[in-house]
Amino acid sequence: MTDDIVLLLRRAGFGPTAAEVGAARRLGYASTLSGLVAPAGPDVGATSAPVPNLGPDPFVLLPRATEAQQVVGSRRRTEQTVALARWWLDRMTVADHQAVEKLIFFWHGHWATSVAKVRSPQLMFGQLREFREARDFADLAHRMVLDRALVYWLDGQHNKKAAPNENLARELFELFMLGVGQYTERDIKEAGRALAGWRVILDREKLVSEPKDRDTGRKTILGATANFDANGLVDLLLQHPTCRRFIASRLWFRYASSTQPIPERTREAMAAEFPAPMAMLRVLFGDEAFQATRGTMVQQPVEWLVGAMRHLGLRPAAMPEQVFSRIYWAMEALGQRPFAPPSVGGWPAGAAWLTSAAAQVRLTIAGILVDLVRPGPLTPEAVAHLLCVDRWTDRTYAVLRDARNDRLKLMLGLVSPEYLVT
Amino acid sequence: MDALTRRRFLIASGVVGGGALAAGAGVLGFHELLRTAEKTRAGDVEGGLPTLVLVTLYGGNDGLNTVVPYADAAYHSARPELAYAPAQVLPLDQTLGLNPMLRGMRRLWDAKQLGIVLGVGYPKPDRSHFKSMDIWQTASPGTPAPTGWVGRWLDGISAATETAVSFEPALPPMLVGKSRIGVCVSYRGLTLPSGVSPDVVSALGQVEPGESEMQARAAASYADLITMNRAVMKSAGSGSDEQGHSGGEGVPATGTGGDNALSAQLALVARCVESQVPTRVYSVSLGGFDTHAGERVWQETLLRHLDDALSAFVDRMGRSAAGRRVTVVVYSEFGRRVRANASDGTDHGTAGPVFVLGHGVAGGFYGEQPSLTDLDDGDLKATTDFRDVFGTVLAHVLAGDPDRHLGGYRAHLLPLLSSR
């Protein structure tokens, strides 16, 4: 069963190194799993990626920017967004607590908010901190419903008693907490009232309450009647029996299979650990249904990139700025630029990443990465060992064997179907 | 509109939201698409079914400098720096002529294969790129709609996956229905890192018996990359048509980028049509028409690429029975202001011409050229509703009922198709 450990490490984190696989094999599955979901002590690796100081949002200093200032300010925001993404990808690469970092990336896809509309990198950074600081899903949901980036993204600042906007309420039900079909349109209308009266002001650390736009009246939501406000609404949704099952199925979708539904038994066992996400993952990774999903998950581009950097011993912080910039924008072409999901529905999954356009971009990025290292003499077996692939197909073995040089062998290993699919 | 703003458009439109795309629906490999041709052969449809190719020009193409009212004094006085002199345009009649870059279109006009619908727009025009494109693609000017007009037709016939295909970088809202969705077969050209040959990529793309489905799909995406590139290159090689510009050159380096150039997208459509793939609607696009400054050079570059790509495509379609059943519709989200701005460009406007091309098209003008003096706050007043054009192709190309798919609008059908 030693190979199951590789599956566990690949799914729970961003691509284990050969050394980590060796250590895990010595520990055994159960101890490795415990170490992943409940890491002991501080994350030593992550200390080499200190939190960046982005500086203020340029538009805070320019409340009434001229057209020329707007151009400069937008450019500065883009630079800050790139710097933020560089730090985040760097941290994913060097952190020892891999499952913690992967879970934060999961939350980013779950509460999918895009800088393309939010614009302010500081707001996105604030949201990222909430993902890290929240104790569990219940705490996180309370933080999110009043998160400046999420509220702005879903037009919460337009939601007023006199002119309701239901966008945030709808997604809270449909995508974040319950799943489609668990509520009526009337529930959403009433929930929208509970969320009215909050405004995003760039230079305030928190969301600003506008008492005149609040709706303090009674609302009937999912059969309960009370003077619900934002936190009251979240509490109501958290208690709904569907919520825990929905979160279990979302974790399954990203960690186990995006094509096979979660088995009911697994779902119930995970739901019993709600709202602690790591405890839910411990159940998932210990379930035999998880083991049966081997060979079905397509790595998301960020997972693939971070894994590749870990295997090659690279990190964004050590790359020349222009090189990182090329990779960053190539990630946009690949469809997964951090902080910019395509919609509130989050990142695509599975076969959606396997287009020929993506194949082209992946080759480009792999080419950039291998140009940053000097590989020693490599056989197909050595490439497999380095990349923690347990077996090449005859096809890929022949391609690697016949590749003209070591740089090419490594590049082809990184884009190989065996490396892409876990 | 570059690729990034296009993506933002998809977000802003709200059509491509929720979970449908997240689950990986709407993606098909090129090899899988070509394989659907077997259905056509099994169904024995002689010469293929009528096919629609929708060409979206993102950014708002300046209609007045595309179909030029060269004889109108008001045209010259409103935009003296931007206007084309009568001697420069390619005249179509006593009042209107084509932009000098549109030589291939002019030839198709003479061959009666180009219909031009004049002054196309909708009531209460919206000057936001996002909102206006959303209106055209959902065919819903009054209220936002969650589905596109082609998507609703797909719903209505419970269409098979391959019925509507986008070769654009992303799936346009137009092809999104409630229960059915078009597929996106994206292609960005083939630029390989140094030292990597197409043969190596091809070899990596061979599916091995016994490997998992996802792993096999990953492999096939590399094989597709090479197959699609061959289809595009073959077309570029034979693309220099008899009378027009040469096929390959003139592709703008920026805009949507040469890598997903319109000519490449249309080469892939041509390959599918000739292979008798049962797709009924193809969506392709060209971006960069948002010419607020220095318009003339920029628009000429784009129109030249448009002309090269379209005329080569229509010519190629004439060489097969399936190709002769293809109708092309070219539109943009709005035209531009009649009066030039201070930067030798034009700002967002309203109505513009729609081109309809193909061997079954009854060439000539449709509708009325809007007045340049009777304006709506500086903008043209639309004379034809765009839903009349879409309704016509729904009825006469797709054999659909326009009244069912245009949100209650009753389309006035135009006699655009001669041989239906």
CA distances to A246, B12, B18 from A144, rounded to whole Å, are: 17, 21, 18
What mean pLDDT is predicted for residues B156-184?
Answer: 86
B368 touches chain A (CB under 8 A): no
Tokens of B37: 């041709």
- Range name among A179-188, A229-238, A247-256, B24-33 with the lowest pLDDT average: B24-33
Asked if the Cβ–Cβ distance from A411 to B196 is below 8 Å, we say: yes
Q: Which pLDDT score, from 0 to 100, does residue A196 have?
A: 96
Which residues of chain A make contact with B161, given a CB cutoff of 8 A? none
A48: closest CA of chain B, how far (Å): 32
Confidence label for B39 from pLDDT (cuts 50, 70 and 90): confident
| B 177-216 residues inside an 8 A Cβ radius of A | 184-196, 200-201, 203-204, 206, 208, 211-216
Residues from chain A contacting residue B195 (CB–CB below 8 Å)? 404-405, 407-408, 411
> Contacts of residue A333 in chain B, CB cutoff 8 Å?
3, 188
Q: What is the mean pLDDT of residues A382-405?
A: 96
A188 within a domain of the structure (yes/no)? yes
CB pairs < 8 Å spanning A and B: 165
Between chains, do B4 and A349 touch, taking CB under 8 Å as contact? no
Query: Between chains, do B11 and A117 touch, taking CB under 8 Å as contact?
Result: yes
Distance CA B326, CA B328 (A): 7
- Residue A271 counted as domain residue: yes
pLDDT of residue B18: 37
- A418 and B CB contact within 8 Å: yes
Asked if B173 has any chain A CB less than 8 Å from its own CB, the reply is no
Selected residue of A354, A364, A401, A407 to mutate for chain B interface (largest B Cβ count, 10 A): A354
Under an 8 A CB cutoff, do B221 and A403 touch? no
Whether residues A276 and A359 share a domain: the answer is no
The pLDDT confidence band at residue B198, using thresholds 50, 70 and 90, is very high
Indicate whether A227 pLDDT > 80.
Answer: yes
Query: Pick from A116, A174, A349: which is nearest to B8 by CB?
Result: A116
Name every chain A residue with its beta carbon within 8 A of the beta carbon of B20: 345
Domain end point (choices A274, A294, A314): A294
pLDDT for the residue numbered A2:
46
- Give the pLDDT confidence score for residue B2 in this predicted structure: 39
Is B240 in CB contact (< 8 Å) with chain A? no
Choice between A353 and B96, residue whose per-residue pLDDT is larger: B96
Residues of A in contact with B23 (CB under 8 A): 258, 348-350
- Classified as helix, coil or strand, A141 is helix
List the domain boundaries for chain B.
3-405
Task: Write the pLDDT tens digit of every residue in B74-129.
Answer: 999 999 999 999 999 999 999 999 999 999 999 999 999 999 999 999 999 998 88
Each residue's pLDDT tens digit, A371-383: 999 988 999 999 9
Q: How far apart are CA B264 and CA B248, in angstroms?
A: 9
Q: Which residue has the tokens 């703008």?
A: B252
- When CB atoms are compared, the residue of A117, A345, A417 closest to B218 is A417
Please judge whether A114 and B11 are an interchain contact, meaning their C-beta atoms are less than 8 angstroms apart.
yes
Say whether both A283 and A176 belong to one domain: yes
Q: What's the rounded Cα separation, in Å, for the pair A175 and A247?
A: 10
Residue A11 lies in a domain: yes
Distance CA A99, CA A12 (A): 5
Q: Is residue A101 part of a domain?
A: no
Within 10 A of B128 (CB to CB), how many other CB atoms are there? 14
**What per-residue confidence (pLDDT) applies to B25?**
54
Residues of B in contact with A296 (CB under 8 A): 212-214
If one counts the domains in chain A, the total is 3
Are residues A275 and A358 part of one domain?
no
B100: preceding bond cis by omega (within 30 degrees): no
A181 CB within 8 Å of a chain B CB: no
pTM above 0.90, yes or no: no
Contacts of A142 (CB under 8 A, 6+ apart): A231, A234
Q: Does A399 touch chain B (CB under 8 A)?
A: yes
Are A354 and B17 in contact (CB < 8 Å)?
A: no
CB contact under 8 A, B29 and A407: no
User: Which of B19, B194, B206 is the closest to A395 by Cβ?
Assistant: B206
Mean pLDDT over A209-231 rounds to 97
User: Which of B196, B206, B259, B292 would best serve as a mutation to test chain A binding (most A beta carbons within 10 A)?
Assistant: B196
Q: Do B211 and A349 touch (CB under 8 A)?
A: no
Residues 6+ positions from B403 with CB-CB distance below 8 Å: B410, B411
For residue B252, the model assigns a pLDDT of 32
Residue of chain B minimizing CA distance to A403: B200
Q: Are residues A274 and A320 in the same domain?
A: no
Question: Nearest CB to B222: which of A259, A295, A359?
Answer: A359
The answer to whether B197 touches B176, Cβ cutoff 8 Å, is no
Q: In this structure, are A305 and A329 located in the same domain?
A: yes
* Same domain (yes/no): A286, A329: no
**Which residues of chain B are within 8 Å of residue A77 when distances are taken between CB atoms?**
none
Contact flag A415-B169 (C-beta cutoff 8 Å) = no
Q: Does pLDDT of B229 surpass 90?
A: no
Question: What residues contact residue A170 under an 8 Å CB cut-off, 6+ apart?
Answer: A188, A192
Whether A351 sits inside 8 A of B189 (CB atoms) is no
| Residue B171 pLDDT | 79
Is residue A75 situated within a structural domain?
A: no
Taking residues B191-217, report their average pLDDT.
92
Q: Give the residue ranges of DSSP H helices in A95-224.
A: 98-110, 115-118, 121-133, 137-145, 148-153, 167-171, 185-194
| A351 with B24: Cβ contact below 8 A | yes
Q: Give the CA diameter of chain B.
A: 72
Helix count and strand count (H, E) for chain B: 13, 12
- Rounded-to-5 percentages of helix, strand, coil across chain B: 35, 15, 50
Interchain CB contact of A348 with B (< 8 Å): yes
**Measured distance CA(A340)–CA(A333) in Å, rounded:** 12
The answer to whether A328 contacts chain B (CB < 8 Å) is no
Q: Name the most confidently modeled range: B175-184, B288-297, B346-355.
A: B346-355
Q: Choose between A327 and B251: higher pLDDT.
A: A327
Query: Is residue A277 a part of any domain in this protein?
Result: yes
Q: What pLDDT is recorded for position B222?
A: 94
Mean residue pLDDT of chain A comes to 95
- Which residues fall within 8 angstroms of residue A205, CB to CB, at 6 or more apart? none
Distances from the Cα of B98 to the Cαs of A106, B66, B353, in angstroms?
53, 6, 11
- Looking at the complex, does the CB of residue B224 fall below 8 Å from at least one CB of chain A? yes
Report if residue A56 sits inside a domain. no
DSSP strand pairing (B67-68 vs B90-91): unpaired
Shortest distance, CA B192 to any CA of chain A (angstroms): 7
Which among B11, B24, B208 has CB closest to A349? B24
Cα-to-chain-centroid distance, residue B350: 19
Please tell me the predicted confidence (pLDDT) of residue B144: 81
Q: Give the mean pLDDT of B258-282.
A: 88
> What are the pLDDT digits (tens) for A105-144?
999 999 999 998 899 999 999 999 999 999 999 999 999 9
- Name chain A contacts of B217, Cβ cutoff 8 Å: 351, 354
Measured between beta carbons, the chain B residues lying within 8 angstroms of A352 are 21-22, 24, 26-27
Distance, CA of B143 to CA of B122 (rounded, Å): 13
Whether residue A235 has pLDDT greater than 80: yes
Residue B44, pLDDT score: 60
Question: Which of A288-292, B27-31, B355-359, B386-390 bottoms out in mean pLDDT, i.e. has the lowest?
Answer: B27-31
Looking at chain A from residue 53 to 112, which residues have their Cβ under 8 Å from any Cβ of chain B?
none
A393 has pLDDT over 80: yes
Range of the domain at A23: 1-37
Distance from C-alpha of B94 to C-alpha of A42, rounded to nearest angstrom: 81
Average pLDDT of chain B to the nearest whole number? 86
Contact A416/B204, CB-based, under 8 Å?
Answer: yes
**B294 in reach of chain A (CB within 8 A):** no
Chain B residues near residue A404 by CB distance under 8 angstroms: 195
Note whether A358 contacts B: Cβ–Cβ < 8 A. Answer: yes
Query: Which region among A54-58, B44-48, B203-207 has the lowest average model confidence (pLDDT)?
Result: B44-48
Q: How far is B19 from chain A (nearest CA, A)?
A: 5
Class of CATH domain B3-405: alpha beta
CB contact under 8 A, A174 and B18: yes
Question: What ipTM was estimated for this complex?
Answer: 0.93
- Identify whether A108 is part of a domain: no
